Amino acid sequence: MPIAIYHLQIKIISRGAGRSAVAAAAYRAGERITNERDGITHDYTRKSGIIHTGILLPENAPPEYKDRSVLWNAVERVEKAKNSQLAREIELALPVELTKEQNQFLVFEYVKEQFVRHGMCADIALHYSGGGNPHAHVLLTMRPFNEDKTWGDKQKKVYHYDVHSNKIYDPKKRQYKCNKIQTTDWNEQTKAEEWRGAWADMVNGVLEHNGHAERVDHRSYERQGIEQIPTVHLGVAAFQMERRGIATERGDMNREIEISNQRLRQIKARLAKLESWLKEEMQNTEPPTLADVISNILHRREQSGQPSRYYSANNLKSAANMLKFLQDNKIMDMAGLENHLKSMMRKRFAIRDELKPIERRIETLDMHIKQAEYYGEHIKINRLYQQQKPKQKEQFFESNRAALTLFKAADKYLRQHLNGRNEIPLPSWKKEREKLVADLKRLNREYQSLKTVVAEVEKIRSNVQDIVSAERRRTQPERTQGLSRYWRL
């Protein structure tokens, strides 16, 4: 069955990372919205490719939250902490097999069932940029609503009581002992898997209803049993650059991964043949030592003086290399050869698992480096802004809005991630990133090395077959029968 593209990514819009729910909503909907908390106006009315937007409200939400500006400014007001989680974003890849209207129906039905029904406000934007990458952004509120249509608490305190039903006081912390528990299950780890699976089910249902054979699967390649390395997400900027023929680092990484996947498929095909051969050989009882069988045959040939194609210099060298490989790897029998092949397969899986944390760390470093560069690029403008007289500040800000906004966001982000340090470790971030990219290239070289080893094992198999088959033809029938009973080549 043809497999369609599956993509569902869950992100958190956090004030601690220098982000704003108002800015996120304005960008995704292509609107102009002012953040009442800091007075910054976010204008994305020139953004193209937005074909539909809409807000869905749960039962207890105030009806005025149908207005995007009212909703997200209310969220900014109710979240007081400097590191508050403001919104959850669900990014969905839309099936290219469906029409725009069918995709709109698909997204809205999915959001109603999985999020709005459970008490979240949902702000939906469908993007069709014309580049074959239709997708939807869904911004979700993080707090439940009370019955009186006010915001509820994200968590509540559960106090500890003694045997007399009195609260237990902690003199060190100067407060009553308690645990904080979530008022909803929206942040539980199982939810992500539930939402991902539900999207796959709904996409497949709509594809089937509209007569399409393609299907999606929310499981990873590993869980599906597909031996393939997943590519990294390009992002909007890199995707647009690649469309214009401009190579990007993420695009290059995906091209290297595709080469690795081609090698994996070749190795898998070869391993399948080798494993089939090994299963056939392992049916024999009490197999003799591989090295002994081959060396004994060659020794008898040499002693008998009989001509043989194995007696040529090249073939003797090949046989010697074969024996050396078996001895170096301590392969004494067919079971040993099978274990050696299994070891290579385990190594392949280990390399694949090693890629995942490297990819995640590179993404984090990319964000660190980008924000540090924004900070350094616009710090002079910010100093000039701070030096302006109060009456001139507003005009100066409007003239330099983009630079000052980027600086402010970068400043917040860096303060959140520097953990109290005053110096921005930009050189060390870049150095770490270079090392990680080098690690990715090293993994590709290891794939190539693994392919070479498999080729060697295949060559050994071929040589063993040739030598034993020739011996079987030369020897007497009873001897041939005995040897065949062991090797059956």
Task: Calculate helix-pair angle for 334-387, 249-281, nearest 10 degrees.
Answer: 170
- Residue 166 placed within a domain: no
> What is the per-residue pLDDT across 394-410, written as a single tens digit (0 to 9) for each?
888 888 888 889 998 88
| pLDDT for the residue 255 | 72
| pLDDT for the residue 473 | 61
| pLDDT for the residue 176 | 86
| pLDDT for the residue 240 | 67
**The model's pTM:** 0.50
Q: Are residues 60 and 208 in the same domain?
A: yes
Q: Are residues 270 and 212 in the same domain?
A: no
| pLDDT for the residue 318 | 56
- Residue 359 placed within a domain: yes
Phi–psi pair at 85, nearest 5 degrees: -85, 115
Q: Are residues 208 and 332 in the same domain?
A: no
Look at the chain and report how many structural domains it folds into: 2
Query: What CATH number should be reported for the domain holding residue 32?
Result: 3.30.930.30
Last residue of a domain, one of 218, 237, 256: 218
Q: Are residues 205 and 268 in the same domain?
A: no
| pLDDT for the residue 414 | 86
The residue ranges of the chain whose pLDDT is under 70 are 1-4, 131-132, 218-240, 242-243, 257, 259-327, 331-338, 341-342, 345, 348-349, 352, 447, 451, 454-489
| pLDDT for the residue 351 | 74
Q: What is the DSSP string of 48-62?
A: --EEEEEEE--TTS-
- Residue 155 placed within a domain: no
Q: Are residues 357 and 438 in the same domain?
A: yes
Q: Are residues 38 and 89 in the same domain?
A: yes
- Residue 208 placed within a domain: yes
Q: Are residues 239 and 335 in the same domain?
A: yes
Q: Are residues 196 and 272 in the same domain?
A: no
- Residue 117 placed within a domain: yes
> What is the per-residue pLDDT across 240-275, written as a single tens digit (0 to 9) for each?
676 677 778 777 777 776 766 666 666 666 666 655
Range of the domain at 55: 1-147+191-218
For residue 209, what are its two tokens? 């209803």
Q: Are residues 303 and 210 in the same domain?
A: no
Q: Are residues 205 and 272 in the same domain?
A: no
Q: Are residues 127 and 255 in the same domain?
A: no
First to last CA, the chain: 37
Q: Are residues 205 and 289 in the same domain?
A: no
- Residue 304 placed within a domain: yes
- Residue 73 placed within a domain: yes
- Residue 97 placed within a domain: yes
Residue 188: left if φ>0, alpha if ψ -120 to 50, beta else—which one? Answer: beta
Q: Find where tokens 């680092």 sit.
A: 249
